[in-house]
Structure 1
Amino acid sequence: MKTNITTSVVMATYNGERNIIEQVDSLKNQTKAIDEVIICDDGSTDRTVEIIQEYINSNHLKHWKLIVNAVNKGWRQNFIDLLNEASGEYIFPCDQDDIWYDNKIEKMSTTMYRNSNIAVLVSNYTELIEEGGHSSTLRSLKTKKDNLDQQVVFTSENVILKRPGCVYAVRKDFVSEVTDYFNQALNSAHDISLWGSALAFDRLYLLDEPTIVFRRHGESSFKKETNEARKNSNYQYRINMLNRYNERLNSLNDYIIEENGIKNKQKKEEIIQRMMKINANRASLLEKRSVTKIIFSFSKYEKPFDYFADIYHVLKLRLGK
């Protein structure tokens, strides 16, 4: 492997004092030294900024930079801005509370270096579930062999995001495509934009092994958003989730239509349109709250699991449980 390949890690922080030391230790101790670490704090009210600055100073980390936003911009915008700020050839988004295996940078860089078609590489993870946290099951991906590597193929199973942003690496020269996706999509995020843009261009790949310990707790920004959305009704949340999936699918479809260089556009659009139709039918049936209507709509479902799950949730609602 070329030794002068440059790498950047970008981390968005907000009130992360509890776990930040374990995370930055795992960055500092990588077997392949990171050339640039940019940490951008989004208005923490705890000691996150102080802890990070002390860590940088005490370890003489001259290639690490801490930025403190004057105005809170939210984790979504914070991450996409950081991807554009980074200068390394390979850029690694990083959460504030996980623990990276010490060979993550080395393994993912090596994989990307040997295959120039890889624009975005994702890996697997192991979990550390803390109080208030719930397991995020590692979902399987449909892939095909590309010499030594596994390319994630554009299928209905793979279209919706299946990996968290903390297991990604992206080529610097692909960040503009990711940013285009982020800017045009409704309520997008860096991981959705990385996944969707690379999948559309057939440049999304999987390193089929864990590279981090993914901490699951009840205090993450995304977890808080999810809890807020579910606060009034889990049943309505299920309907809203299907509608949000269709918003994401529509954004992906628009991206495929508008971007040059994407192959097999018609086939990809057909996959998306079929998925959107299925989701819309499910949402409509759930809105009716009728078990009978769902039972007689089996042909409108692609997956038996979704069919029986919807029956279960309607029954649960009707029984007042």
Structure 2
Amino acid sequence: MISVVMATYNGEKYIERQLTTLLEQTRRPDEVIICDDVSTDNTAQLVQDFIKEHSLADKWHFSINEKNLGYRKNFAQALAKATGKYIFLADQDDDWHLDKIAKMVALMQQQPEIKALNCAVQLIDANGEPLNLPESKAFYNAGFIYSKTPLAKLTQFNANAIMRNNISPGCTMLIRSELRDILVENYQAEMPHDWYLNLMAALDHGCYFLNEELIGYRIHENNTLGASTDTRWQKVLAKFDVSEKIAEQEDNLCALDNLAQALKLIDAPEVLHLEEYYGTRLAYYKQPNLKTLAKLKRYPEYRTDSKLRGRLWDYALALHLEKVIAKIAS
């Protein structure tokens, strides 16, 4: 059985197009779960009208929350309602390629080791036209993935890679229900639900990326990837905001500990190493200096996985040059 879960909030502009691409799949889902987070626009009415117009009430289930939960908790409750063995996550403003469900489910059925499968995205504009943005060297999947080696058709990602950053938006994901069950029992919204699911799968050696574009990922006024008039240095400064880095590292370490306990991996060498490495990174951000940076540089993944720009910024932070850079950039 195949489920699709969607969390909606003020998505009236594109929701009908997204629902249409679900309805027109070559392999239709057995159920669609849509949870609206108390939208203040016409989203709820549009969804209800779509379900009624296409006589989908027996398989498409729509509900409105009693109060606004935020996207993380809203998605978590939508996932909890799904009954399928294979569960897709969907946003409210994308265009699914019509063979997305068929191709991803077939691959997961063929390879039982896959616990979470992420597909590549094709960026599209507000009108659904392709956006062919040049990708920087070593960046893939519209810049979501950083990899020094070219990506194969199917690539496995380990927990260290997922701890650094998620590899794809949640709308590209297909998961097995076993992952959902663990999320429902343990998720505390420390990190985004899709990132949490990929990290969970990676800890179980089951996180994979399918290097095939199966979704149009819409870029519009409320959903941008780096669309800004800031200068290059202002973008760098924004990306390396220290307080945000500290909060992110603390949340990720909390999520890692949460999952390690849930998966009974609390003493696993991989988990202990990740906790040590990211704990050292957190200590550096809290007290940036050459001594704490030297401790961080002892880890091989710091050299192999970090981008040059990130390493240069770490040096600037250790030497307390960030205020000088900010003054120049302003």
**Structure 1 length-normalised TM:** 0.79
Which residue identity does 1:125 align to in structure 2? V
1:306 aligns with 310
Question: Given that residues 90 and 171 in structure 1 are in contact (C-alpha distance below 8 angstroms), is that contact kept between their aligned partners in structure 2?
Answer: yes
Shifted more, 165-174 versus 101-110: the winner is 165-174
> Given the superposition, is the C-alpha separation of residues 240 and 162 from structure 1 closer, same or farther in structure 2, using an over 3 Å criterion?
farther
Please name the residue that 1:92 is paired with. 88
Aligned to 1:57: 52
User: Aligned with 1:267: secondary structure?
Assistant: helix
1:71 to 58, 67, 71: 67
1:110-259 equivalence runs, <5 A: 110-129=106-125, 137-140=143-146, 149-156=154-161, 159-183=164-188, 186=190, 188-219=191-222, 238-259=241-262
Rate the CA distance shift 1:112–1:123 in 2: closer, same or farther, 3 A: same
Q: How many Å separate the matches in 2 of 1:246 and 1:9?
A: 31
The question of 1:317 aligning with 2:313 is answered no
Note the C-alpha offset of 1:260: 4.0
- Superimposed CA distance per residue, residues 30-63 of structure 1 (whole angstroms, 9 cap, x where no aligned partner): 1111110111111111111111111111112231
> Partner amino acid for 1:107?
K
Q: How high is the sequence identity, in percent, across the aligned residues?
A: 26
Q: Identify if the C-alpha distance between structure 1 residues 315 and 130 changes in structure 2 by more than 3 Å, giving closer, same or farther.
A: farther
Q: Quick one: distance in 1 between partners of 2:292 and 2:275? A: 25
Unaligned runs of 5+ in 2: 128-132, 134-141, 227-236
Aligned to 1:3: none
SS at match of 1:107: helix
Question: 1:222 & 1:251 partners in 2: Cα distance?
Answer: 27
Which stretch of the first structure deviates more once superposed, 238-247 or 105-114?
238-247
8 Å Cα contact 2:260-2:271 kept in structure 1: no
SS of the counterpart of 1:102?
coil
Cα displacement (A) at 1:261 = 5.0
**Distance (whole Å) between structure 2 residues aligned to residue 67 and residue 195 of structure 1:** 26
Structure 1 runs not aligned, ≥5 long: 1-5, 224-233, 286-292
Letter in 2 for 1:168: M
Moved more, 206-215 or 19-28: 206-215
Q: Aligned pair 1:28/2:23, yes or no? A: yes
Paired with 1:177 and 1:142, the residues of 2 have a C-alpha distance of: 32
Count of residues in Structure 1 that have an aligned counterpart in Structure 2:
293
What's the CA shift for 1:155?
Answer: 2.9
1:150-198 deviation digits (Å, cap 9, x = unpaired) = 3222335764322211111111132122234423x63x33112211211
Shift of 1:271: 2.9
Give 1:249 deviation, angstroms: 3.1
Q: Aligned to 1:65, what secondary structure does the other structure show? A: strand
Name the TM-score, length of structure 2 as normaliser.
0.77
Tell me, in whole angstroms, the C-alpha distance in 1 between the residues paired with 2:292 and 2:71. Answer: 43
**1: CA distance, partners of 2:99 / 2:241:** 39
SS of 2:187 mapped into structure 1: helix
Q: CA deviation at 1:142?
A: 8.5
How far apart, CA to CA, are the structure 2 residues paired with 1:156 and 1:203? 13
C-alpha distance after superposition, 1:214-253 (max 9, x if no partner):
1123425999xxxxxxxxxx66971122212311331243
**SS across alignment from 1:305:** helix
Name the aligned partner's letter for residue 155 of structure 1: N
